[in-house]
Amino acid sequence: MPGGPSKLRDVRKLSDARAILDLDIPLAELPGLPVELIVGGGPLRVQVQFGREQGFMVAEVALRGELALTCQRCMGPMPWQVDVSSPVLLIESEAQADGAPAERESYLAAEGRVSLAGLAAEELLLALPIVPLHADGAECDETGVAATAEPVAAEQGTARPFADLRALLEQGAKRKE
């Protein structure tokens, strides 16, 4: 695509022409993504279909791809499939946003221009799970460690920083008596 996905495009022309744009965007080219999302994921397949609805410019944004997330139960790697589609109102100013339907998602296309990479990044962030977890712990073992993770060496031992707390509290109680 000429100019790449970060190039600002005229959404008025795209909406009037009911344009459909298909592109593959490397995750590293999506602005504002955390570094841990960029590593290990393939390109994101993005399709944006422009149009008009109720006097507003609208973009139907569809994302498909695979990300490498971290399971928050076992802290192991977790492949996550992205397959979402959502309509987005493209508004040119905050004043125009006041008249937009509250139930619809909106995206600020300042001066009638939008970066497809920025729009895709915003939709991807909204699609991410709040707390990534393996489904029903299927990939995590009973201790919460990923089944694919390396076992912890026995000689490392387990640190128990509060193991002596009870004895210290009892000593303090005896001194007060």
| E strand map for 35-144 | 44-53, 56-70, 77-91, 106-108, 113-115
Contact in structure between 85 and 61 (CB atoms under 8 Å): yes
Return per-residue pLDDT of the chain as tens, 177 residues: 556 777 788 989 999 999 999 999 988 888 888 877 777 667 899 999 999 988 889 999 999 999 888 888 888 888 889 999 999 999 888 877 777 777 888 898 888 899 999 999 999 999 988 888 887 756 676 555 555 545 444 445 566 667 677 777 777 777 766
Q: CB atoms < 10 A from the CB of 30, how many?
A: 25
Spatial distance between the Cα atoms of 25 and 160, rounded to a whole number of angstroms: 46
DSSP string of 123-177, one letter each residue: HHHHHS-SS---GGGTTB-TTS-BTTSPPPPGGG----TTTTHHHHHHHHHHHH-
Tokens of 168: 């210290």
Instruction: Note the pLDDT of residue 145.
Output: 59
Instruction: Label residues 35-53 b or e (16+ Cβ within 10 Å = b).
Output: eebeeebeebbbebbbbee
